């Protein structure tokens, strides 16, 4: 077959379909009836707080943990009863360790070298593929080092090369950059995005870091206490959060009690420029980001409070406004603001996301 006629990795990429997956540990539910599709060639981030079930779901997809109920499909084929060796997945674990006694090149080639003879590529082919992967993860020249002679970020890059060496159908990454400092994590994010574009593998990436998920992923799946709250593009989940949990988990948000009457949203009896369905009537919660609020004269806005903090965040300032009852909220203001600590101000709500209280 000529190179031009060979299917590209993108064309060969498979989808992952999780259907009705439920898992309990000792009577406590870790995953409740999860339905999730990862599209072929997609980079999907599994995002949620600690203990929300991210690792458990990833391990069920990998075949390392058995679900109590439900199925996992790869490319339309039921993989639920396939053992991990047959699933053709590459993974990088949350607390991953390379083989310390093996040099970088041997770590990468390991998955190929341990194959039974019939499936093992010839030595020269293993060497060629290892060199190609070293180049891909930008570690050419490091092949003879031991893991102890690498930085944390370099080790994780070796771990990823090792996962890719066996030409997996899907790539499963559990907080691969979890232990690294913020600067290195940011560099590795861009690097992983680039690798993903070049290899085109269907990838599930676990993180509890919102920024990492939103920056890196094609789509984000948000887990909370074993429930899948929302799946959508980074824009979808930020602009149209499906639940109050998603709204508050993705960033600072202040909650206001609101009333909906004739399709109008009222806070403290004053209308707010946020649309509600005309037919809806009743109590609701309005969630506002710091840029949904703006200072105004006392008595003019929807809320009155005292400035209890002023911080600079790059090119803007965040002020903290406290009410007598102890509740505080954050408001974004221009850098050149004349507001002072201890000053009493009014706040006007410019925008927000409304959820019915049921």
Ligand X SMILES: Nc1ncnc2c1ncn2[C@@H]1O[C@H](COP(=O)(O)OP(=O)(O)OP(=O)(O)O)[C@@H](O)[C@H]1O
Binding site for ligand X (CB under 6 A): 25-26, 30, 48, 50-56, 94, 208
Instruction: Write down the least CB distance from residue 44 to Mg ion, Å.
Output: 16
To the nearest whole angstrom, how small is the minimum distance from the Cβ of residue 224 to ligand X? 10
Q: Which does 87 bind (CB under 5 to 8 A by kind): ligand X, Mg ion, none?
A: none
Tell me whether residue 29 or residue 281 sits nearer to Mg ion (CB atom): 29
Distance CA 105, CA 109 (A): 6
Rounded least distance, CB 80 to Mg ion, Å: 22
Q: Which does 52 bind (CB under 5 to 8 A by kind): ligand X, Mg ion, none?
A: ligand X
Secondary-structure percent of the chain, ordered helix, strand, coil, rounded to 5: 30, 35, 35
- Rounded-to-integer distance, Cα 159 and Cα 140, Å: 15
Applying the rule CB under 5 A, the residues between 29 and 68 that interact with Mg ion are: 55
Longest pairwise C-alpha distance within the chain? 80
Nearest to ligand X of 30, 222 (CB atom): 30
Residue 268 buriedness (CB in 10 A; 0-12 / 13-18 / 19+): middle
Pick from Mg ion, ligand X, none: which does 53 bind, CB < 5 to 8 A by kind?
ligand X
* Nearest CA among 107, 194, 201, 101 for reference residue 158: 107
The site partner of 208 among ligand X, Mg ion, none (C-beta below 5 to 8 Å per kind) is: ligand X
Judge contact between 45 and 51, C-beta under 8 A: no
Q: Which residue, 3 or 26, is less far from ligand X as judged by CB?
A: 26
79 or 222: CB nearest ligand X: 222
* Nearest Cα residue to 43 out of 16, 21, 20, 64: 16
Tell the smallest beta-carbon distance from residue 213 to ligand X (Å): 12
- What are the residues binding Mg ion (CB under 5 A)? 55
């Amino acid at each position: 077959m000529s190179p031009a006629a060979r299917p590209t990795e993108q064309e060969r990429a498979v989808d992952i379909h999780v259907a009705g997956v439920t898992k309990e540990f000792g009577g406590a539910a870790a995953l409740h009836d999860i339905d999730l599709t990862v599209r072929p060639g997609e980079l999907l981030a599994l995002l949620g707080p600690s203990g929300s079930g991210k690792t458990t779901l990833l391990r069920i997809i990998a075949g390392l943990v058995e679900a109590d109920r439900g199925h996992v499909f790869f490319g339309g084929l039921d993989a639920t009863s396939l053992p991990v060796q047959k699933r053709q997945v590459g993974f990088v674990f949350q607390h991953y360790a390379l083989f310390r006694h093996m040099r970088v090149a041997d770590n990468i080639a390991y998955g190929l070298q341990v194959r039974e003879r019939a499936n093992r590529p010839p030595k020269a082919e293993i060497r060629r593929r290892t060199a190609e992967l070293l180049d891909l993860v930008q570690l050419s020249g490091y092949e003879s080092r031991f893991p102890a002679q690498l930085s944390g970020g370099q080790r994780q890059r070796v771990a990823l090369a090792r996962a890719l060496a066996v030409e997996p159908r899907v790539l499963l990454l559990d907080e691969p950059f979890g232990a690294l400092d913020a600067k290195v994590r940011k560099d590795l994010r861009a690097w992983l995005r680039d690798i993903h574009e070049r290899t085109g593998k269907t990838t599930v990436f676990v993180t509890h870091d919102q920024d990492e998920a939103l920056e890196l992923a094609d789509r984000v799946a948000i887990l909370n206490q074993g429930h899948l709250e929302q799946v959508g593009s980074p824009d979808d989940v930020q602009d149209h959060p499906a639940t109050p949990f998603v709204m508050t988990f993705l960033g600072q948000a202040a909650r206001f009690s609101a009333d909906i009457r004739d399709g109008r949203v009222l806070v403290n009896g004053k209308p707010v420029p946020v649309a509600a369905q005309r037919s809806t009537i009743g109590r609701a919660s309005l969630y506002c980001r710091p840029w949904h609020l703006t200072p105004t004269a006392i008595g003019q806005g929807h809320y009155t409070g005292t400035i209890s903090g002023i911080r600079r965040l790059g090119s803007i300032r965040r002020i903290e406004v406290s009410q007598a009852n102890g509740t505080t909220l954050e408001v974004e203001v221009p850098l050149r603001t004349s507001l002072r600590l201890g000053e009493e101000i009014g706040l006007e709500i410019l925008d927000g996301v409304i959820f019915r209280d049921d």
